Structure 1
Amino acid sequence: MKAKKSILLVTIQDDYNIGNRLQNYALQYLLTNHGFEVTNLKDRIETSAGVKENIKIIIKNVLSLVGIKKYKKQMLIENNMRNRYMANKQFSINNINNIIQINHTSVYEEDWSKYSLGIVGSDQVWHKWFDDGYELPYYYLQFLPKEKRVSYAASFGFEDFPAEDKVQHIEGIQGMNKISCRESGGCRLVEQVTGEKVPHVLDPTLLLTKNEWENLIKDSNEYSKNQGSYIFVYFLGNITSEYQKEIDKIANSRKTKIIDFLNFEDENISSCGPKEFVNLIKNADYIFTDSFHCCVFSILFNKDFKAFRRSQSGMEKMFNRIEELLVNTGNQDKAFGGVSSNIITKDFQKLQQASLDYLEEILRDRK
């Protein structure tokens, strides 16, 4: 039997971020279905908490046990946040293949010659998140030969190159063999550097069918399966008074309860990971969110939902990708406050096919 060819998949490995875990799973799923063995790089080594941090945790636990109200609530929230992190981490352990932990400098010391290709994406991989001069070269795959560097649905998360990182972005883009971007704005940035148009492709979560997602979530926990009638709320930014008024209006008219997925005072909610997240969206009566991936699954499962602009400092541009998604899927009426008039409508089915064709193109000669 012919041995499977290997691909190195480089994306943001963040067990605090459910959307990130689901897009990682989706792209790995697509690559595996093309007959490749996928190895995932994790770009930071997890270490145990330092001595001081452990002492602080012990003190808070003791204070909560003796009944000091402030610390009891704080410890409940912190414990439940850890439960969510562990649920997400367990999803990665069970569903993300062959994770290799590496840092941005030691990656250059390893031998990656057995891999036919390196793929970076999706998510905001070309956005500098840390004060680390090696971060962007890592996500531009500069530890691999140029002919092995390709992107799928890479995202920048901004509309203009930050002045302090512009040189690294230009060098990184020029060093790629093939590029595709998740947003039209990213395609325009690449064209500024190369003078050539690059494919606009969909987030990989949109390339799996409803049935394929249902197959993944069939063993989600009982809590996510047995909630009856409810409204699902998932806001990564602040829920403003205006947003809350809209949520309450629908909840009161439907006379149904609200499940807030980020309510860390609720132990049951906090034990839910990516599978339960998808299942709760699937079974909800109505959904309110400022999250791109929550919108994705609301559309895939044909749900009633409302998408909001993120109310969070520095995140004002985050709605651009949601706007594109809503317009291209014919859901612009789901945007609270409407969408921008300058969004160019593209045929969603054609985008899906173009995305699959691009994957086939970059993989064809590597099989």
Structure 2
Amino acid sequence: MKIGIITINDNNNYGNRLQNYALQEWLHCKLKIDEVNTIWYDPQYTYVSKFNLFTWKTWIKYILNLGGVRSYLKDCYYLDNIRMYNIGKFSRKIHTKFDLKILDKDYDYFIVGSDQVWNPKFWATEEYGQIRFLRFVPKEKRIAYAASIAIPSISKDKEQFFKDSLNEMKAISMREKAGAELVKKLTGRDVPVVVDPTILLSKEEWQKIELVPEWYYGEKYILTYFLGNPSPIIENLAKKNNWKIFNLMDKSNLDLYASRVEEFVYLIEHAELVATDSFHACVFSILMNTPFLVINRQQKGVADMTSRLDTLLDLFGYQNRYIIDGKCDLSDDEILYMDFSNVKAIQEREVARSTAYMKKALNIN
């Protein structure tokens, strides 16, 4: 059997690359699929920034300084390209075909997922919607695994497209409860909620790809991964325990900001605490049994921010890990000492559910 994966193509996000790798590894190594390829359909996202210096539109933006282009070129462009290049190194571990012009006969099935593949805000063009709903192949070959819409509702101008596209899928599973509810509302179709592909691989399997950052000398640290300044809670914990704070979004620290994907996993496992608003940083904190806090800078319950995190935390029983408006109801000891005793059993149960779903979708006995 030969399967093609469609997901978001870029080298700007650790979680996206890790979930892509995990789905491919799981299908090939655990479900014993003969050949699995990720279809890279967007050539502008390779190992350099999508920001093209040589278009006439860019020069107009530069002259008028639209969107702060001058500041971006001065402060961020170089750093962002190094970061994307380092993340792109990991993409080379993913079996990839750089072409969407695929004959139907070449693949038995296509799987779209995971990540926010069905979020129209992430479509550069309308063609992306066609691609991410697999409308370039027959209906009987279209499968969604842990797809995410990540917005509370679909705008009227896209509603019919979503209805038609969802109804034409052979099999659908969603990553968030909110997404499954939206599919039900649009189509009347009940679809399962399954775990993100990163949860399909064990802690031990993820440890095999880790890399120790060359700049790291064994000091204890809190790892932060979110936009904005650290909460006083984080700063106080670091000061109290004489720990450093490593901020993965700190552009003044190139070593951290341009961390490789394998270093991202290592830094999460070996942190004393992870503070983040990233879904996948939470996933890896749970898998690696690292205490974590979710920094929520929006009102809790806003679908485009918390639906994926709420689903994840509900699954593992960590609903109390939020810092909301700078406040946390946990004591310092409760923050730093988490009970991970049920993680493996929950993970194994969810892997079994996902395996059953995928085998049925792929007609595997």
For Structure 1 versus Structure 2, the TM-score category normalised by the shorter chain is 0.7 to 0.9
Counterpart CA distance in 1 for 2:314 and 2:54 is 51
**2:224 maps to which residue?**
233
The Cα shift of 1:292 comes to: 0.3
**1:97 maps to which residue?**
95
Find 1:118's aligned residue among 110, 117, 125. 110
Q: How does 1:271-282 map to 2 (within 5 A)?
A: 271-282=258-269
Letter in 2 for 1:273: R
Counterpart CA distance in 1 for 2:192 and 2:55 is 49
Counterpart CA distance in 2 for 1:77 and 1:134 is 29
**2:332 maps to which residue?**
none
Find 1:162's aligned residue among 140, 155, 159. 155
- Which digits, 9 at most, give the CA deviation of each residue in 1:82-135, with x for residues without a partner? 211100111101x11023244xxxx4xx41312010000001111112352222
Contact between 1:11 and 1:123, CA under 8 Å: does it hold in 2? yes
Contact between 1:39 and 1:100, CA under 8 Å: does it hold in 2? no
The Cα shift of 1:52 comes to: 5.8
- Which digits, 9 at most, give the CA deviation of each residue in 1:280-310, with x for residues without a partner? 0011011110000000011111111110224
Counterpart CA distance in 2 for 1:52 and 1:152 is 37
Task: Identify if the C-alpha distance between structure 1 residues 188 and 51 changes in structure 2 by more than 3 Å, giving closer, same or farther.
Answer: closer
Letter in 1 for 2:351: Q
Pair 1:9-2:5 in alignment: yes
Partner of 2:284: helix, strand, or coil? Answer: helix
**2:292 maps to which residue?**
305
The Cα shift of 1:148 comes to: 0.3
Counterpart CA distance in 1 for 2:155 and 2:40 is 25
Contact between 2:86 and 2:260, CA under 8 Å: does it hold in 1? yes
The answer to which of 11-20 and 110-119 deviates more is 110-119
**1:256 maps to which residue?**
243
Q: CA RMSD for the aligned pairs?
A: 2.8
Counterpart CA distance in 2 for 1:87 and 1:273 is 5
Pair 1:327-2:314 in alignment: yes
Letter in 1 for 2:158: D
**1:353 maps to which residue?**
352
- Which digits, 9 at most, give the CA deviation of each residue in 1:131-160, with x for residues without a partner? 522221211101011100010001101122
Question: What TM-score do you get using the length of structure 2 for normalisation?
Answer: 0.82
Partner of 2:259: helix, strand, or coil? Answer: coil
The Cα shift of 1:355 comes to: 1.5
Partner of 2:5: helix, strand, or coil? Answer: strand
Task: Identify if the C-alpha distance between structure 1 residues 50 and 130 changes in structure 2 by more than 3 Å, giving closer, same or farther.
Answer: same
Count of residues paired in the alignment: 327
| Identical amino acids, percent of aligned pairs | 32
Partner of 2:103: helix, strand, or coil? Answer: coil
The Cα shift of 1:43 comes to: 2.7
**1:138 maps to which residue?**
131
Pair 1:213-2:206 in alignment: yes
Unaligned runs of 5+ in 1: 60-70, 340-346
Partner of 1:333: helix, strand, or coil? Answer: coil
Letter in 2 for 1:230: Y
Counterpart CA distance in 1 for 2:71 and 2:38 is 39
Letter in 1 for 2:224: V
The Cα shift of 1:77 comes to: 4.4
Pair 1:45-2:43 in alignment: yes
Partner of 1:16: helix, strand, or coil? Answer: coil
**2:19 maps to which residue?**
23
Letter in 2 for 1:35: K
Counterpart CA distance in 1 for 2:171 and 2:303 is 30
Task: Identify if the C-alpha distance between structure 1 residues 310 and 28 changes in structure 2 by more than 3 Å, giving closer, same or farther.
Answer: farther
The Cα shift of 1:15 comes to: 0.4
The Cα shift of 1:249 comes to: 1.7
Partner of 2:88: helix, strand, or coil? Answer: helix
